[in-house]
Every structure is written in structure tokens, then in C-alpha cells.
Structure 1
Amino acid sequence: MGWIFRTARNRDGQAHALEAQAQEVAPAPAPLPPVAAEGLELALGAKLLDGWLSNRRQVLVPHTLNFRVLAPEESALLVDVMAAAAQGDGEVDPREARQLPLTLERLGAGEAETRRLEAALAEPQHLGQLLSRVEEAGLTTHAYAAALLAINRRGGVNRAFLDYVAQRLGLSAEVAGSLERRYRT
């Protein structure tokens, strides 16, 4: 039994066989020839560029619409866009009236935005002036996302409204499609 305990005594983190091997110095790896190094850099650069180009629409378009990080005037503008989108087909249907406050809450809006929405839904919005203000504020993609979240996209009039807004805000079909996929309801 003593031989079992002798081997167990060396279990203090020392591995004599490995330490002996570590003392032997291995030869340094040979450097790559300049042509191979350039080829490797080009291949790696091409792979990175290809990955970025295939993913750029997701990187360049905002991923989230969060009212907590927006300035109060930006939040108010986007709430007005949501109200205009809900009114775009001529009336605010009961489903939209129920969903809009819930959508605002989900997006991090507070009580001020909810009150603003109620007031904006009570009076017609001037879409031309509203979209001009959106462009001046640099919130074009945010406004399109807000409009998407405010209405039922399956209706023909609502679909035409969204197409008009995307065209008026200068959003490409790829960007609008990316936002529509991201903000499915």
C-alpha cells in the first residue's frame, strides 16, 4: 500500500516528465515567405470584406427602436408618425387603437409619449410636414420602423401608405425590406 501513497504525494502541481520536456528548447518556426504572407493578408481581407458586405444592411440600419434613448422632441416626432400611420387608411380601427399604447410601452416610451399619442390620434396629422421634419431630424429609418409598428401591413391601403413613406423618405427597397423583416408584428 505504501507505493500508492508515494505516487500520490507528487500531486502538488508538479509534473516531472512535462517539466523535463519544457526545458528542451524547440526550434523557432520558420517565417512565411513574403509572397505567402501577402497572399494570407489578401485572403483574410477579402473574407472580412465579403462578410461585412453581406451583412452591411443589418449593420447600417438601426437594430432597435428604443424611446428611452431618444431626445424628447425625437420621441414626440416618432409618436406623431405612428399616429399618422394609424390614420393613413382614413380611420383608426379598434385593433390599432388597442395595440398602439402597448407598442409604445414595449418600445420603452413613457407616460408623456402615451398622452401625446392620444392627442395626435384625436386630430389629423399633416403627413408632408411630418415627413419633412423626420428628414431634418435624421430619423428616416426610425420613422419607417415606427410606421411599420403602428399599422397592419396586410391591408392594401396601409401597404400603399408604407410604400409612399419609404419612397418619400428616400429609403431603398433593401433598407425598407430589412426593416420590415426586423419589425414583423
Structure 2
Amino acid sequence: MMGFDVIGRLLGSMRDRDGQARALEDLTQAQPGPPGPRAAPNPAEEIYLAVATKVLSGWLANRQQTLVPHTLNFRVLERAQADLLLAVMAAAAQADGEIDSREVRQLPLALRRVGAGEDEARRLDEALAEPQHLGVLLARVQEAGLGTHAYAAALLAINRGARANRAFLDYLGARLGLAPEVAGSLERRYRA
């Protein structure tokens, strides 16, 4: 259990909140001199430490998905929330000035993927028929606390290969206050 001992010592040294750093003070008081002979490594401890390091590295790399699980599911949304997200999808599709053929094919598939039915598809078509006021729309999204949902909905609605759409997503993430790690996690989950 060498790994836990190291972590315990590190956490213990962090508890010194009165300006003292005993670990550093001990290092400065140590007698300088040549290092002593190194003890032979214990293979079991080395394996334990390597596995613990891998697990910690994997968790840190994937922490946003672990700490903030996110699922966009139209079946569990209230009607007002669903309409708001459909308006975001329409605004995203309109962001580059046109709804291209890829987006036209992609929208019904994206809706089905997130549990939307025919009623939502019809309401999305209605939202696409009129221009969306992005400022008002994003204020409503923030008020409803649906920032990550709105970003996921926008990801499903557009062709991310277009530069204008990429700029729209960057603006949307910044305006909604999403951390880059959260936006990246959503982009991996909701690849169109």
C-alpha cells in the first residue's frame, strides 16, 4: 500500500495552512552529502504503483464524463425545454446562412438519436422556417439552466466541418460559459 502512503503524506503536508511547510523545512535542514545506496525495488509495490498511476491518469483524462454525466433525451424533457432546444437546433442549422443537404439529412436522424418523435420533428421544421434571435434564445437557455443540453443539440444539428459552423459552436460555448473540457466532452459524445 505504498501508493496510499505517498498520497497520505502529500495530503498531510497540504494541511499546514499556517504558513509552515514542514516537508520543505525538513529538506532544508537535511545534511548535504552524497546520496546513500538505493534499496532494491519491491516488484509487488512497483506493479501496484504502476496500476494506480494508470487508473488515476485514465480518470483524470476522462473526468468531465465521470463527474458530469450528460444525456440529451427528449423523452424526459418538458415541452417548453424541448421547444427551446429545438429552437437552438434551428439557430445552429441557420448559423452559416443556409441549411445544406447534409444538415437536412442529419436533422431527422439526430432527433431520433436523442429520443424525439414526429411531433418534435414537426416543431423543428416550424422553427427552421423562421429566423431565430440568438441573443434572446441564449438568454432563455441560460435562465432554464440548459447550457450543456443546448450545446449538444447544436452539435447534432450542424455540419461541424464548415468554418462558420465551427465559429458558431465556439461562440455558443463561450456565451453559455462552458469550460473547454465540457465542450470537448460533448463533442466526443454527440458526433454527428
Q: CA deviation at 1:41?
A: 9.6
Q: CA deviation at 1:112?
A: 1.9
Q: Helix, strand or coil: the match of 1:154? A: coil
CA distance in 2, matches of 1:70, 1:120: 18
Aligned to 2:84: 77
Deviation by residue 1:5-59 (Cα, 9 ceiling, x = unmatched): xxxxxxxxxxxxxxxxxxxxxxxxxxxxxxx9x959949x9x7x95765543113
Aligned to 1:169: 176
Gaps of 5+ in 2: 12-51
2:68 maps to 1:61: yes
2:118 maps to 1:111: yes
2:121 maps to 1:124: no
CA RMSD of aligned residues (A): 2.6
Q: CA deviation at 1:107?
A: 1.0
Q: What TM-score does the superposition give when structure 1 sets the normalisation length?
A: 0.71
Aligned to 2:29: none
Q: Cα 1:60–1:130, aligned 2, differ >3 Å: closer, same or farther?
A: farther
For the Cα contact (< 8 Å) 2:158–2:165, is it kept in 1? yes
Q: Helix, strand or coil: the match of 1:124? A: coil
CA distance in 2, matches of 1:154, 1:55: 25
Q: Percent identity, please.
A: 68
Q: Helix, strand or coil: the match of 1:152? A: coil
For the Cα contact (< 8 Å) 1:76–1:116, is it kept in 2? yes
CA distance in 2, matches of 1:73, 1:182: 24
Q: Helix, strand or coil: the match of 1:109? A: coil
CA distance in 1, matches of 2:67, 2:84: 22
Aligned to 1:143: 150
2:187 maps to 1:184: no
Max radius of gyration: which structure? 1
Q: CA deviation at 1:178?
A: 1.1
Selected match of 2:108 from 101, 108, 130: 101
Aligned to 2:165: 158
Q: Cα 1:60–1:135, aligned 2, differ >3 Å: closer, same or farther?
A: farther
CA distance in 1, matches of 2:98, 2:7: 59
Which structure 1 residue ranges, 4+ long, deviate > 4 Å from structure 2?
Answer: 38-43, 49-54
Instruction: Report the residue type matching 1:105 in the other structure.
Output: R
Instruction: Report the residue type matching 2:147 in the other structure.
Output: T
Q: Cα 1:184–1:41, aligned 2, differ >3 Å: closer, same or farther?
A: same
Question: How many residues were matched structurally?
Answer: 147
Gaps of 5+ in 1: 1-35
CA distance in 2, matches of 1:134, 1:152: 22
Q: What TM-score does the superposition give when structure 2 sets the normalisation length?
A: 0.68
